[in-house]
């Protein structure tokens, strides 16, 4: 049941991020990179929420999955930055000028699963060190 709630929460956040990204794109005259990056959130938010447990830490059999998600997150961040610069910073700046609070919210959603993942890994290692 708890995993179902996490999956639904991840999908709802992905939907919100996708709608915001469509607004940022401005019919192709804005920050289009966010539209493509948001597609990844449909997978990474639910999966990240299911495997992350920042309060309890990770189960030993999930460490490989968490490390893989951490690596994918790093590659995704680099790709987002590269695509934004390749597209032209003026498009990001236009989106930011028009929708600054929503751009911050989109970025918070983008980084949320990665931050939860890192907290979970840190908690798990701290518990393992104490034992």
- What's the pLDDT tens digit per position in 103-119? 999 999 999 989 988 88
The pTM score is 0.82
Cβ 42 vs Cβ 31: under 8 Å: no
Taking the CA atoms of residue 67, residue 112, residue 16 and residue 28 in that order, the dihedral angle to the nearest 10 degrees is: -80
Mean pLDDT of the chain: 87
Rounded CA gap, 49 and 39, in Å?
Answer: 16
- Model confidence at 9: pLDDT above 60: yes
Candidates 109, 79, 103; CA nearest to 91 is 103
* Count of other CB atoms within 10 angstroms of residue 79: 14
- Model confidence at 125: pLDDT above 60: no
- What's the pLDDT tens digit per position in 55-68? 666 677 778 888 89
Write phi, then psi, for 59 (nearest 5 degrees): -80, 145
């Amino acid at each position: 049941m708890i995993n179902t709630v996490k999956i639904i929460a991840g999908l709802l956040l992905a939907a919100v991020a996708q709608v915001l990204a469509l607004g940022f794109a401005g019919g192709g005259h804005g920050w289009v990179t966010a539209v493509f990056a948001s597609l990844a959130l449909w997978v990474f938010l639910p999966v990240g929420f299911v495997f992350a447990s920042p309060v309890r830490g990770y189960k030993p059999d999930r460490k490989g999955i968490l490390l893989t998600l951490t690596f994918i997150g790093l590659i995704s961040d680099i790709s987002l930055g590269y695509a934004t610069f390749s597209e032209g910073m003026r498009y990001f700046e236009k989106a930011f000028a028009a929708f600054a609070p929503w751009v911050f919210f989109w970025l918070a959603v983008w980084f949320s699963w990665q931050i939860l993942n890192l907290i979970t890994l840190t908690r798990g290692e701290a518990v393992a060190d104490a034992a």
